[in-house]
Every structure is written in structure tokens, then in C-alpha cells.
Amino acid sequence: MRFGLTAKFALTLVALVIATALSISALWYNQSRTASTDLANIGLNALEQQSMEQAMGEAQMLIAMLADALVNEVYYYDMQHIAELVTAVDSLPNVSYVLVFDSEGKILHDGQERIPSFGQPMTDPFGETAANAEETVHQWSSDTLDIAAPLMLGNERIGGVRLGVSLLPLVQGVREARLQVEQETAAGFERHFESAMFMLVVLVVLACVVAVVGARQMQRPIARLVEYVSQLQAGHLGVKIDSQRSDEIGDLIRAFSSMSQNLRRKNRSIRHMAYHDSLTGLPNRLMFRELLDETIAADRLRRSNISLLFIDLDDFKRVNDTLGHDAGDEMLKQFSERLKSTVLGRFVEENPENECQSAVARLGGDEFIVMLAAPDARESAANLARLLLSESSDPYVVGGKSVFMSASIGITVYPDDSVTADFLLKNADIAMYHAKIRGKNSFAYFSYSMTAQADERLSLENDLRDALDQNQLELHFQPIVSMESGKIAGVEALVRWQHAIRGEVPPDIFVPIAEESGLIDRLGEWVLDRACNTCKDLIDAVAPDFYFAVNLSGRQLRRADVPTMVATTLERYDLNPSQLVLELTESTLLEDEEAASVTLRDIRATGARVFLDDFGTGFSGLSHLRQVPVDGVKIDRSFVSGLPADPDDVAIVAAIIAMAHSLGMTVTAEGVERTEQRAMLRDRGCDSAQGFLFGEAMSVVDLRQWLTHSAQRQPGAEIA
């Protein structure tokens, strides 16, 4: 009789089982319980590690998106948009806190409405590391994951953002799962202990069969479970595992399957939030950038063209300021719907012969972008731009009101303008900016000359920042002469910039740059402080009623602290507030007349006076003068230049003088260069004038000499 390996293995196994039956029966319970517990621990530990890695990945994705969205807002100190972004993230589940801080580690926003910690340094254990981080850093405590990312503008770190994620739900979930598995495992072994003893006797008889069956029944699901856990650890959440087993291993498999399904649902939700704009539902900057990279990679093989259309709504801030941010959000939704229907619907229907790929995304704020991939992408982009401009010009119904809005569009083409996504986006932005310069409600193609202009503007902005830091600016003063007495009544302070390399930079060049970059706040404060300091001595030397005028920009007028700044500066130099005149253009008032009126009333409450500069160029009328609290107007030089020959200019100037005087306002004429202009203005009752006839803008040293020369004239003599 031949004994095969199976028979030998069976006989040997039976002999061993008989010999060791008593030992096995004593040790079986503890060893099996320990093995199952270890198995459960392996799975639970893997789940815990996967959950922690998932939490870290979600937090890192969220803070990367938040850091990208906050760069422009922190750079321009746009607390409104910072608050919107922080509040949106802070409301997410398991987010404990969101902190936005500046380059010195001081808090700009903490997610609370009143920001009680504004301007305070971060003193928590993670604060110093987060404030000094040059790249994304992770820090842990027993219940919190703190992740911080710097806000980089080029190579400059302008601040950072911190995100605190609570680990308590994760820890509690794993702890409950561990407890449940331990309880079910213990209960199962208690229930099956007696059966196991009976099976031990059967095993002696059928050792070989039981060994094979046991191996198949125990080893295979365990191997599948281990493989499943490995897949979860690798991030493959879509892998599924099913089990019809009714024992503890089946329960464990089903528990893992249920947990993985929850992770998949959360992952889909977070991914959608990370790749889509929460307001419009359009793809966001992150998703569009990935799509653009993929399209470029594919088109390198097809050698076709890609056009980007960078769309920015013209004067959108006016909607938020006049109708409120809710109305602005509603308008953005309506515009996004028009954009989608135009690009993905009507444009394709009207151009069936052009097979093209298209995508629409919102980059942030009122900025949108469209991608077209087609053989004739340049021409298609122009056709689409014209269609979009036409569609955007139709009125929007917001809050029961019809609102009109135009758009500016910049177009760049791959591979003509660039072959990388970064430069294509930059080029489209530059082209859009030039479309705005050309008058808005238009589109412009990118050209390399635009890049040179943008680089020159950035260089000029940096030089202006250095000039403010190094006190390279100076004030010149142009005399203002009383038309009645012919004597000096005051001066207008005008900022001048003598650059070491560029030479004299005209104000009409650097002041708009200061407005756009936000430097106008520092520049305005510097001009006011320097003018008060300089004119304090001039007032003592000339006359008690001598006044000085300082220009106020539209951006400054929107600041709530301007009246306080004016009062503080006047008090610092012990000046009579009535000797300060703040000048602002009437076009500034037209942006938001109601809000401007409130600020002007607060300024006048300090005792300072307010004049409307360049009056007549902003389509003003009597209704505006009645509603806006001002003390005087300055007739624009464009109306004075034609005096006295041009009858239209004569009529306009006479009407302005009469209208202002009827409201008790002072009238000053600008740009007076000839004696006949002075005579005509004086005959019409103009109160004062300034221009080259009396004196050009001069340094304070030249002004003192000019005043000394004027004082040496005979009493009553006019300044000519």
C-alpha cells in the first residue's frame, strides 16, 4: 500500500494532534484570541493611518487652495474678500480655526466677525513656526492638525494662512471601531469555544481535511483583507471587497468596506469643493490650470491652437458698493450662466463647422476665463469675444433693478504667445488690462510689447515704493490768488518725484500707479503730513487766513479713517482746520455719491473745507452740488483756456460761478495764463484763481522767495 504525501501528512497530523490535544485545548483559546485581536489591530491601525493621511491630504489641498485665493486679497488688504474666504473655510466640518496673518506674523483675520485678535501676534505653540514658514508646514497636537502655508507674491512672503483641523472625530471613530471589533471578537470566541472543543475531536479524525478546509476558509479572506487594507493605504478608495461570511472576519470585512465607502463620499465632496467655485459652480483656478496643462500636452501632438479669453467685468465694485455684496453675488451668478450658455451653447451652434474644445472657469472675484482649442483658435476667439461683449451688455435684473455691466477681454494664443500655462494666463491678464486702458467694453490680443509695458509699470511701482520708503518725494506749491485783492490767498500742494535715473516722473504717470497698487494711501498721508508741516510756517509768515489745498484720491475717500487722520494731522501741527482745503474730483463722487457724502460730512466736521476739483468735466449739475457737502469748486482749465474769445466757455464759466455762489460756495479758476482771462473771471465774480500768470508750482524755497518779492510790492498792488 502506497502512502502519498497527503496520507503521510494526514497520519502525521493525526499523531501530532493526538499527542498535543491536551496542550492545544489549553492554549487554543488564548492564542486564537490574540491572533484575531492582532489582525483586528492591523486593520484598525491601517485605517487609523489612512484616515490621518486622508485628513492631512484634505487639509493640505484646502490650505493650498485658500493660500492661492488669499495672495491678491492680502496684498491689496481687501478685508472683505479675506473675510469671505476665511468664513467659507471656517464653516467646513472639523475645521477648528482659520488664521490669516501678515509678514510679521500678526493676525489679519481669525474667522470671527469682529476679529478680536486683529493685529496681535500668534502666541500659541504653533504660532512662531507658522509665522516664519517659507513653505507648507504641518504641526500636531493630540487633538489638532495645524497646517500653515506662506502667501508668496513672487519671491516675497507677504503673509501666511493657518488651518486647524480637529482630530477628535477621527480619533473617536477609530476608538469606537476598535472597541466594537474587540467586543465582537471576544463575544464570538466565547460563543464558539465549546464548538471549537468539539471540532478539536473531529479534527483528530479528519485532520487533513480540516487542515485543507481551514486553510481555505481562513487564509483566503485574511489574504484578501490584507490586500484590501494595502489598497486603502495606497489611496485606492474605489477598491471594493464583499463577503458573505457571518463570522467575525466577515464583520470585520464589512466594517472596513463601510468605512471605505464613507471615505470615498467625503473624498468626492472635498474634491468637488477644491476644484469648483462655490458661488457659480464653475471650475475654479486650480481645476482650470490642470485642464489647461492637459490640453497643452495633448495639442503638442496634434499641433493645433489654444486661445485663452481672460474676462473681467468693468467697474464691478460699483455694484457691491451701491447694491451690496449679495446683489454682486447674484450678478456674478447671472453672468456665469450667460457665459456658459454663450460659450458651450450658442457659440457652438453658430459655428458648427469649427470643431473645438471649450472650457469656462471662474478665477476669482469678477474674473473669468474661457479656453478654446481649435485649428483656427485665434479667429474663433475674436468671434467669441464679440459675442460675449454683446451678451454681457444686456441688462441684469438684480434685486428688482436693471443693472448694466460691460466687460473687458484679453486674448492670448498657444503656441504663438507662449507654450506654458503660467505665461499664457499672465499674457491673457496683461491683454485684458490693455483692453481696459483702451476704454473697456472691448477685447485686445496679447503682444510682446504689452509685456514690456507691464514690466515697466511694475518697475515704476517698485521705484515708487522705494521713493516713499527713502523719502525721495517732495512737495511743490502753486500760488492761489484772490481776484478781489490781487494778493495771495493760499497754495495748492503738488507732489513731485525726481528719480535718480528716470529724471522727473510726471504725476499723471505715477499717481495712477499709486492708485492701482494701493500705495495711494501712504502717498496721501505723506502729502497731508508734509503739507501741514510746511504750511505751518507759511501761515505765520503770510496771513492768518492763508490756506493750503491738498488733493484727496477716490481710494482715500473710501477709507473710514480719513476724517480721523485729517483731525489728527491738524492737531499734530496745531493748525486751524479751516486753513486746510481738501480737493477731490467730481468723478470720484459719482462712483458712490451717498457714501462719499457721509465721509465728506465727517471731514467737514473736523473744520477742514472741501473743494471739487476739475469741476465741469464729470457731468455735474446743480443736483449733485445740492446733495454733496462741499465748500467750493475749481473750474477746470479746459473751460478757462478759451476765455474770453470762446462764447461757449464764457457761458459755461459764468453759469458755474453763478450756480456755486447761489449755494454759498467759493469758486476758484484753474489754468489762468493771460491777463484778459483774469479780467474776465474777476468781472464775472470768480473768487480766486491759479495758473502760470501768477506763478507755477515751485519748491518751498522758491515759494518763500516769491512771497518775499510779493511783499515788497506797494500795498494794494496786484500779483501779475
| Mean pLDDT over the full length of the chain | 81
Query: Taking residues 456-462, what's their average pLDDT?
Result: 83
CA distance 500 to 507: 16
Interval 278-291 mean pLDDT: 89
Quick: pLDDT tens for 345-367. Answer: 766 666 555 556 788 999 988 99
34-48, 363-377, 585-599 — which is least confidently predicted?
Answer: 34-48
pLDDT of 672 above 90:
yes
User: For 79-113, what is each residue's pLDDT tens digit?
Assistant: 888 888 888 888 888 888 889 898 888 888 888 87
Return the pLDDT at 221.
67
| Rounded CA separation 237/214 (Å) | 30
| Whether pLDDT at 26 is above 70 | no
Q: How many CA atoms lie within 13 A of 265 on its CB side?
A: 5
**Least confident range of 557-571, 583-597, 642-656:** 583-597
Dig out the grid coordinates for 129 from the structure.
513656526
pLDDT at 622 exceeding the cut of 50: yes
* CA–CA dist 12, 18 (Å, integer): 10
**350 vs 71 pLDDT, higher one:** 71
What is the rounded average pLDDT of the residues 585-600?
74
Q: In this predicted structure, what is the pLDDT of residue 455? A: 74
Q: Which pairs with CB-CB distance under 8 Å and at least 24 residues apart come from 86-94?
A: 86/110, 86/111, 87/111, 88/278, 89/62, 89/163, 92/62, 94/55, 94/165, 94/166, 94/169, 94/170
Most confident stretch, 158-167, 371-380, 473-482? 473-482
Determine the average pLDDT of the residues in 676-703.
Answer: 93
3-state secondary structure 45-75: HHHHHHHHHHHHHHHHHHHHHHHHHHHHHHH
Alpha helix stretches (DSSP H) within 542-646: 554-557, 562-572, 586-591, 593-605, 622-627, 637-640
Contacts of 594 (CB under 8 A, 6+ apart): none
Which residues make Cβ contacts (< 8 Å) with residue 342, sequence separation at least 6? 384, 387, 388, 391
pLDDT band at residue 220 using 50, 70 and 90 as cut-offs: low
Of the two residues 209 and 246, the one the predictor is more confident about is 246
User: What percent of the chain has a predicted confidence (pLDDT) above 70?
Assistant: 77
104-122 tens-digit pLDDT: 888 888 888 788 888 899 8
Q: Which residues of 226-257 are buried (b: 16+ CB within 10 A; e: fewer)?
A: eebbebbeeeebeeebebeeeebbebbbebbe
What are 307-349's pLDDT values in tens digits?
A: 999 999 988 877 876 778 888 899 999 999 999 888 877 666 6
In terms of phi and psi (left: phi > 0; alpha: psi -120 to 50; beta: otherwise), the region of 662 is: alpha
pTM for this entry? 0.50
Indicate whether 476 pLDDT > 90: yes
486 pLDDT above the threshold of 70: yes
Angle formed at CA 218 by CA 214 and CA 223, multiple of 5 degrees: 140
Phi-psi region of 281 (alpha: psi -120 to 50; beta: other; left: phi over 0): left
Lowest mean pLDDT among 6-15, 128-137, 503-512, 637-646: 6-15
Q: What average pLDDT does this structure show over 1-6?
A: 43
**143 pLDDT more than 50:** yes
Distance CA 577, CA 559 (A): 20
Cβ–Cβ < 8 Å for 369, 361: yes
Q: How far is 262 from 268, CA to CA, in rounded Å?
A: 10
Mean pLDDT in residue range 634-648: 91
Tens-digit pLDDT profile for residues 236-249: 656 666 666 676 66
DSSP H or E segment with residue 611: strand 609-615
Place of cell 535715473: 501
Give the model's pLDDT for residue 405: 87
Residues 6+ apart with CB under 8 A from 343: 358, 360, 370, 384, 388
Q: What would the mean pLDDT of 212-230 be, rounded to a whole number? A: 63
Question: For 515-568, what is each residue's pLDDT tens digit?
Answer: 877 888 899 999 999 999 988 877 777 777 789 999 998 778 877 788 999 999
Burial class (CB in 10 A: 0-12, 13-18, 19+), 664: exposed
Q: Could you give the CA distance from residue 218 to residue 235 in angstroms, rounded to a whole number?
A: 26
Q: What is the mean pLDDT of residues 633-645?
A: 91
Q: What is the grid cell recorded at 614?
A: 476739475
Is 15's pLDDT higher than 90?
no
Q: What's the whole-number mean pLDDT along residues 446-457? A: 74
Mean per-residue pLDDT, 30-58: 71
- Residue 363: its H or E element: strand 357-364
Among 507, 346, 379, residue whose Cα is nearest residue 445: 379
pLDDT at 694: 92
**CB 282, CB 360: distance < 8 Å:** yes
In this predicted structure, what is the pLDDT of residue 191? 67
Q: What is the DSSP letter of 133?
A: -
HEC assignment per residue over 269-306:
HHHHHHHECCCCCCECHHHHHHHHHHHHHHHHHHCCEE
For residue 528, the model assigns a pLDDT of: 93
Strand 443-445: give its sheet, edge to edge. Answer: 357-364, 367-374, 305-313, 407-414, 443-445
Looking at per-residue pLDDT, the higher value among 468 and 53 belongs to 468
Most confident by average pLDDT, 5-9, 396-400, 442-446, 451-455: 442-446
Q: Is 682's pLDDT higher than 90?
A: yes
Average pLDDT in the 34-49 region?
68
The domains of the chain, with CATH numbers, are 5-49+170-273 (no CATH), 57-166 (3.30.450.20), 285-447 (3.30.70.270), 476-711 (3.20.20.450)
The percent of residues above 90 in pLDDT, for the chain, comes to 24
pLDDT at 1: 45
Phi, psi of 579 (to 5 degrees): -85, -5
Residue 22: count other Cβ atoms within 10 Å of its Cβ: 9
Tell me, what's the pLDDT at 199? 67
